[in-house]
Amino acid sequence: MSDVLKISDLYLRFRGYTGVTEVLHGISLNIRAGERVALVGESGSGKSVTARIVLGILQELRTAKVQGGLEFEGRDLNKLSASQWHDLRGTAMSIIFQDPTSSLNPVFTIETQFAEVLRRRDAKMSDAAANARAAELLNSVSIHDHERVLNSYPFQLSGGMNQRVVIAMALANEPSLLIADEPGTALDVTVQAQTLKLMHDLVEQSGTAVFFISHNLGVVREFADRVYVIYRGRIVEHGPTAAIFDNPSHAYTRALMAAVPRITGGGIPDIDDVDTAFLDPMVIHDGGAT
Max alpha carbon distance in the chain (Å)? 60
**Closest separation between CB of residue 97 and another protein, Å?**
6
Q: Which of residues 46-75 bind another protein (CB under 8 A)?
A: 52, 55, 57, 62
Site string for another protein, 173-202 (x = CB under 8 A): ------------------------------
**Closest separation between CB of residue 71 and another protein, Å?**
19
Q: Which of residues 95-154 bind another protein (CB under 8 A)?
A: 95, 97-99, 102-108, 116-117, 120, 153
Residue with smaller CB distance to another protein, 52 or 133: 52
**Closest separation between CB of residue 58 and another protein, Å?**
10
The Cα-based distances of 286 to 46, 107, 231, 261 in angstroms read 25, 50, 21, 29
Task: Tell me 66's DSSP state.
Answer: E
Evaluate the CA torsion angle 114, 120, 122, 126 in order and state its sign. Answer: positive
**Binding test (CB under 8 A) with another protein, winner from 59, 94, 192, 253:** 94
**Closest separation between CB of residue 83 and another protein, Å?**
10
- Count of H-run helices and E-run strands, the chain: 11, 11
Query: Could you say whether residue 22 binds another protein (CB under 8 A)?
Result: no
Q: Considering only 28-36, 80-88, 196-204, 257-265, which stretch makes contact with another protein by CB under 8 A?
A: 80-88
- The H-assigned helical ranges of 5-145 are 47-55, 82-88, 100-103, 110-118, 127-140
**Binding test (CB under 8 A) with another protein, winner from 13, 25, 75, 86:** 86
**Closest separation between CB of residue 4 and another protein, Å?**
17
Angle of the 159-172 helix axis to the 189-206 helix axis, nearest 10: 20
Query: Could you say whether residue 156 binds another protein (CB under 8 A)?
Result: yes
Residue 189, classed as helix, strand or coil, is helix
Residue with smaller CB distance to another protein, 107 or 268: 107
d(CA 115, CA 214): 29
Residue with smaller CB distance to another protein, 85 or 252: 85
Q: What region does 72 belong to: left with phi over 0, alpha with psi -120 to 50, or beta? A: beta
Residue 269, classed as helix, strand or coil, is coil
Count the residues in the chain.
290
Closest Cα to residue 219, out of 187, 251, 178?
A: 187
Q: Using CB under 8 A, list all residues that contact another protein.
A: 52, 55, 57, 62, 86-91, 94-95, 97-99, 102-108, 116-117, 120, 153, 155-156
